């Protein structure tokens, strides 16, 4: 019998502390009006000193496991997509594994910036399709606030912190992850990057130690142009692989970077506004977390229904981009106990 996979759980980890556009007006030469009109962002959540990448990831994992009503001991694999981990090692995935008591799980991180959750979903899906694993927890988490120059108005207004988790389970005879599609282009990697200050320099005994904190650098306009081409490419390719057309999609859930990008792509592809899922106004760009957080928010707003066909589309640093077409059938077991 065909082995398929379905998403059975979704969870969120969002810091409590809210930073408004008005708060940013006090830090850099910007205005609420500029930020709203250029990005659609109104607020973002930022970690406090006692919070971390792993803490948010753990919170989202516990939420997703509760949603699916799964015993952590039954999870086979945890994949965390992040580009802002607390440590080079241990991985965030291992910290999640230990904290939630997933005593039988393998765990690793992968890095594909804002497309990370699509990469993690694809890898997790493959492990299920081959019959290797039955339950895979995938998490997207980023704390870009720790890697931003809070004096650079080009970048500090865009990002928020957060984590979003999806639980994938084997589903005999029924594959609800209808397709996945991944791409990369390292030749344009310099357009958005965070250099690793420790490994870039100094060379021990050769260079002078330099205590420089390296921040996120971005060519915003170039990334904007990249995004409005990458989203249609990924969406069209993923639809083709799923044997559906773009008009068959009930909901487009793109990476939440900028409302203007979402609207412009929807306009180009003739996708009606009621099919667009967006929470960028409330949480900003949460990078690898943004797609699962948008799903989580949409479910709270009763936007995604059982059997909805959803297109998840990511783009970001690397450069990377990709998409997955899924059928949504999960229900929150805490609300609907069997």
Q: Which residues bind ligand UT7 (CB under 6 A)?
A: 30, 34-35, 38-39, 114, 153-154, 157, 192, 218, 220-221, 223-224, 257-258, 285, 316
CB of 79 to ligand UT7, least distance (A): 20
CB of 316 to ligand UT7, least distance (A): 4
Picking from 27, 147, 128, the residue whose alpha carbon sits closest to that of residue 77 is 128
CB of 246 to ligand UT7, least distance (A): 22
Q: What's the length of the chain?
A: 338
The shares of helix, strand and coil residues in the chain, as percent rounded to the nearest 5, are: 40, 25, 35
Quickly tell me which residue has 């592809």 as its tokens: 269
Beta-carbon contacts of 280 under 8 Å, excluding residues fewer than 6 positions away, are: 39, 40, 41, 256, 257, 258, 259, 262, 290
114 annotated active-site: yes
- Cα 137 from Cα 65, distance rounded (Å): 9
- Cα 237 from Cα 281, distance rounded (Å): 28
C-beta separation of 77 from 127 below 8 A: yes
Q: What is the largest CA-CA distance in the chain?
A: 65
69: helix, coil or strand?
coil
**Strand ranges (E), 160-300:** 162-172, 177-184, 192-193, 217-218, 251-254
- The tokens describing 62, both together, are 């516990």
310 annotated active-site: no
C-beta separation of 252 from 311 below 8 A: yes
- Cα 70 from Cα 66, distance rounded (Å): 7
Catalytic hit among 255, 258, 279, 310 = 255
Quickly count: other Cβ atoms within 10 Å of residue 315's Cβ: 28
Which residue number is nearest to ligand UT7 in terms of Cβ? 220
CB of 99 to ligand UT7, least distance (A): 28
CB of 157 to ligand UT7, least distance (A): 4
Catalytic hit among 21, 175, 279, 285 = 285
Catalytic hit among 21, 45, 53, 114 = 114
CB of 249 to ligand UT7, least distance (A): 22
By the 10 Å C-beta count (0-12 exposed, 13-18 middle, 19+ buried), 314 is classed as buried
- Cα 213 from Cα 133, distance rounded (Å): 40
Quickly tell me which residue has 């970077």 as its tokens: 257
C-beta separation of 78 from 105 below 8 A: yes
Which residue number, 170 or 258, has a Cβ lying nearer to ligand UT7? 258
229 annotated active-site: no
- Cα 125 from Cα 322, distance rounded (Å): 14
Which residue number, 70 or 223, has a Cβ lying nearer to ligand UT7? 223
CB of 295 to ligand UT7, least distance (A): 17
Supply the residues annotated as catalytic.
114, 255, 285
């Amino acid at each position: 019998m065909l082995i398929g996979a379905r998403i059975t759980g979704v969870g969120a980890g969002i810091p409590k502390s809210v930073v408004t556009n008005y708060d940013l007006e006090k830090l850099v030469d910007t205005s609420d009006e500029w930020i709203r009109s250029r990005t659609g962002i109104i607020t973002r959540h930022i970690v406090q000193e006692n919070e971390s990448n792993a803490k948010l990831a753990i919170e989202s994992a516990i939420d997703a496991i509760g949603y699916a009503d799964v015993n952590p001991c039954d999870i086979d694999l945890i994949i965390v997509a992040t580009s802002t981990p607390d440590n080079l090692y241990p991985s965030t995935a291992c910290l999640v594994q230990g904290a939630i008591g997933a005593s039988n799980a393998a765990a690793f991180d992968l890095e594909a910036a804002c497309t990370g959750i699509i990469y993690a979903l694809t890898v997790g899906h493959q492990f299920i399709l081959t019959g290797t694993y039955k339950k895979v927890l995938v998490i997207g988490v980023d704390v870009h606030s720790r890697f931003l120059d809070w004096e650079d108005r080009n970048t500090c207004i865009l990002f928020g912190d957060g984590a979003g988790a999806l639980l994938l389970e084997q589903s005999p005879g029924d594959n609800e992850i209808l397709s996945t599609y991944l791409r990369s282009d390292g030749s344009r990697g310099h357009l958005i990057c965070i250099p690793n200050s420790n490994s870039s320099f100094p060379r021990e005994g050769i260079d002078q130690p330099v205590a420089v904190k390296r921040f996120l650098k971005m060519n915003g306009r170039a990334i904007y142009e990249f995004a409005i081409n990458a989203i249609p490419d990924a969406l069209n390719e993923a639809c083709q692989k799923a044997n559906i057309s773009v008009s068959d999609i009930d909901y487009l859930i793109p990476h939440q970077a900028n409302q203007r990008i979402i609207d412009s792509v929807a306009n180009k592809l003739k996708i009606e506004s009621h099919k667009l899922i967006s929470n960028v106004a409330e949480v900003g760009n949460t990078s690898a977390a943004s797609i699962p957080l948008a799903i989580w928010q949409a479910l709270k707003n009763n936007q995604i229904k059982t059997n909805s066909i959803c297109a998840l589309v990511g783009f970001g640093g690397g450069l990377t981009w990709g998409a997955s077409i899924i059928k949504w059938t999960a229900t929150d077991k805490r609300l609907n106990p069997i």
